[in-house]
Chain A
Amino acid sequence: QSKEQFIPVLSYRTGPYAPNGVPWANGYVDYLKLVNARGGVNGVKLSFEECETGYDTARSVECYERLKSKGASFVQPLSTGATFAITEKAPADKISVVTVGYGRSESADGSVFKWNFPIAGTYWVAADAIMQAIAKKEGGFDKLKGKKISLVYHDSPFGKEPIPLLQERAAMHGFTLTLLPVTAPGVEQKATWLQVRQNRPDYVVLWGWGIMNSTAIKEAQATGYPREKMYGVWWAGAEPDVKDVAEGAKGYNAVTMQHGAEPQSKLVKDVMAMVHDKGQGTGPKEEVGQVLYMRGAMSAMLGVEGIRAAQERYGKGKVMTGEQVRWGLENLNLTQPKLDALGFAGVMRPISTSCADHMGASWARIHTWDGSKWQFTSDWLQADEQILKPLVKTTAAKYATEKKLTPRTPADCQS
């Protein structure tokens, strides 16, 4: 059975982050099943194994080691902490680290981070999109002068990711940025919201994950902070974050990772028809097409497309090695027709990666909770290259000097 491409699945279905980890994993796994139901990648079936990480870095590393030995070619850790740890190991193992919508933002620079792929967006993209949305609401960036924005963030590397970008923006437009860390897991935020009440910021940017999100929204409600003025990162903008606040979360905004909840998409219909109706669905049917489910599916799709791209070059219908898949991920070219064929029409925009750009796209939208579901409330927003690029370059360069890496030359990019 050498005709199977092995995909490791690091997921968390127990513990504090399970409510958010489960739908993502369901989407991820369902998509892999869908690929198989559609006949595999040019005939190569996908095999996969799940490993429970509990959103714990050490356990993620163990999972990585275990699944690696089964022939993994890329891995998606679904945790910024684990991404940091695995980033150090992956090059030696020739395994790509695909972090769709998270991870280290500077890893978009493929010339330094050869094995990292924050495809479709990093936290800097998310933060910039939020700033743009806020600016639009205010009527332009120049209106931000003198305004106050508070960042309520998960006190971890994940939560700190947007800070450099927001600081940059604050310096540019003259608003003040207050940082309010929340100790993980974030069940106690009274003091934080008292401070919000004291400062009366014009906007609150919420950088949370897990229970921290719903708690924050509830505290906002309890202290009377208008939810309309809250903007969450895309990990704070899914159903589990607002479901049990329901009415109380009405008006709350979050940036989306291109997609939002997409129950009407073709992909969902395909999954229903070819996976769930065959009795092979992974989670409850009602949740298919919700935000995190879609994110899981999209993440899986990007990985699978990396394999497909590799096959185009190294031989269709063959099982790809880690290095080959890396090449594929680096040369993704998901055009609109391709996306349509995969069922992602309307869900996302085209993505194309390159040696220099491992991210491939920097688009996002805002969606808003209307009390029962997420609704898009903005146009497509693109993160500002002018700001993003230099930030990525300098941070990546710093990493390279620290690690004594020489950035890849254009020649190296050919391999």
Chain B
Amino acid sequence: MFYRENGQFKTTYRADQQILPIAQDRRFMLALLLVAFVAVPMGASDYLFRAILIPFLIFSLAAVGVNILVGFCGQISLGSGAFMAVGAYAAYNFFVRIEGMPLLVALLLGGVSSMLFGMVFGLPSLRVKGLYLAVATLAAQFFADWMFLRVQWFTNNSPSGSVSVSNLQVFGLSLESPVAKYLFCLSLLAVIALLAKNLVRGAVGREWMAIRDMDVAAAVIGIRPMYAKLSAFAVSSFIVGVAGALWGFIYLGAWEPAAFSVDQSFKLLFMVIIGGMGSIMGSFFGAAFIVVLPIFLSQFLPALAGSVGINISTAGVSHAELMVFGGLIVWFLIVEPHGLAKLWSIGKQKLRLWPFPH
């Protein structure tokens, strides 16, 4: 009833090609942006910003990047952690070695470095496919882990291999307060996500998806697999690299290679799959699921157990958390194998028919 597109006729293709062709969606998005940019900064607590919203934003960004490679172009990647690491360490080096380097530029240069690194490790994808490609990307992962531990130059000769940054500012504004950090990440995310969305709904995006779905047929209609795959690696690792730099600079402040370990790579892949492969919005859902849910569970479960009078040990809570989290993943997949984004769109479709079931 409330979600009808009846009567909304598109008279031009331009109108039909908008990101959100349906008026309700546009209104919803506008409201969402308003909430994110205005309401949240006014209302949220420090903890919410630092421990939930900022990591959520950064991981969403990274997941958008990974989704481009894995979801849109179909190239399995377990090296996202490495791309994040390259982004972070490269940005760090630009930032501390070049006097007066603006933060934003350093972050973007981090992305560019990660892009180059990603393209090198993307080369095997021209020959190796599917799960087998995971080996190439894992090689990137472990190599990066090792490189940042072993090559002291990258860590500005800090003996421990751990580096840190402080006194961050953009355009002369200090980035110390959580709200500032949040708004900074949010703006970057909004801009990059919009650009990414434009890419995936345009010609390049179609090339990626074509390669993903059926590479031989794609070649026959004139798509060059090499160009498509490497461009996906490039765009993806650029975004992931920027996210990595944010993770180091904004969230952690100080980090060591372990901050970008293979666990991180897996986590990102999971976000993409659970959120929805080939959906920019899915990346957000996935990030929320993987980042926020465990935190939520760890606070909610003890409360729940307490309220029914059970007193589980702290270890018990952690274990229960793992079980519930695992169970939820399976449950969501059974309800909708194509991820949360698909679930969302089916929900909307139902709403469209409402109150009729079909």
Total B residues in contact with A, Cβ cutoff 8 Å:
41
Nearest A residue (CB) for B259: A57
Q: Mark B245-285, 1 if CB is under 8 A from A, else 0.
A: 00000011111111100010000000000000000000000
Residue in B55, B156, B162, B176 whose beta carbon sits within 8 Å of that of A84 in the complex = B162
Is A65 on the interface with B (CB-CB < 8 A)?
A: yes
A174 CB to nearest chain B CB (Å): 22
Q: Tell me the A60-96 residues at the B interface (CB within 8 Å).
A: 61-62, 65-66, 68-69, 80-81, 84-85, 87-89, 92
Is B42 on the interface with A (CB-CB < 8 A)?
A: no
Beyond A13-B318, A14-B315, whether A61 also contacts B252 by CB under 8 A is yes
Taking a contact as CB atoms under 8 Å apart, the answer to whether A157 and B256 are in contact is yes
Identify the stretch in B21-29, B44-52, B213-221, B326-334 within 8 Å (CB) of chain A at 4 or more residues: B44-52
Is B322 on the interface with A (CB-CB < 8 A)?
A: yes
Beyond A14-B318, A52-B314, A65-B47, whether A57 also contacts B159 by CB under 8 A is no
Total A residues in contact with B, Cβ cutoff 8 Å:
42
Nearest B residue (CB) for A403: B166
Q: Mark A38-54, 1 if CB is under 8 A from B, else 0.
A: 00000000000011101
Contact partners of B299 in chain A: CB under 8 A: 66
Taking a contact as CB atoms under 8 Å apart, the answer to whether B298 and A157 are in contact is no
Contact partners of B259 in chain A: CB under 8 A: 57-58, 81, 85
Taking a contact as CB atoms under 8 Å apart, the answer to whether A81 and B318 are in contact is no
Beyond A13-B315, A58-B55, whether A89 also contacts B253 by CB under 8 A is yes
Residue in B96, B145, B251, B256 whose beta carbon sits within 8 Å of that of A61 in the complex = B251
Contact partners of A403 in chain B: CB under 8 A: 164, 166
Taking a contact as CB atoms under 8 Å apart, the answer to whether B252 and A58 are in contact is yes
B251 CB to nearest chain A CB (Å): 7
A402 CB to nearest chain B CB (Å): 8
Contact partners of A104 in chain B: CB under 8 A: 160
Assembled-state Cα–Cα distance A171/B258 (Å): 30
Taking a contact as CB atoms under 8 Å apart, the answer to whether A62 and B51 are in contact is yes
Taking a contact as CB atoms under 8 Å apart, the answer to whether A404 and B162 are in contact is no
Beyond A57-B256, A85-B252, whether A11 also contacts B314 by CB under 8 A is yes
Taking a contact as CB atoms under 8 Å apart, the answer to whether B254 and A87 are in contact is yes
Q: Tell me the A84-135 residues at the B interface (CB within 8 Å).
A: 84-85, 87-89, 92, 104
Q: Please list the residues of chain A having a beta carbon within 8 angstroms of any beta carbon in chain B.
A: 11, 13-14, 18, 22, 25, 50-52, 54, 56-58, 61-62, 65-66, 68-69, 80-81, 84-85, 87-89, 92, 104, 155-157, 160-161, 163-164, 181, 183-184, 395, 402-404
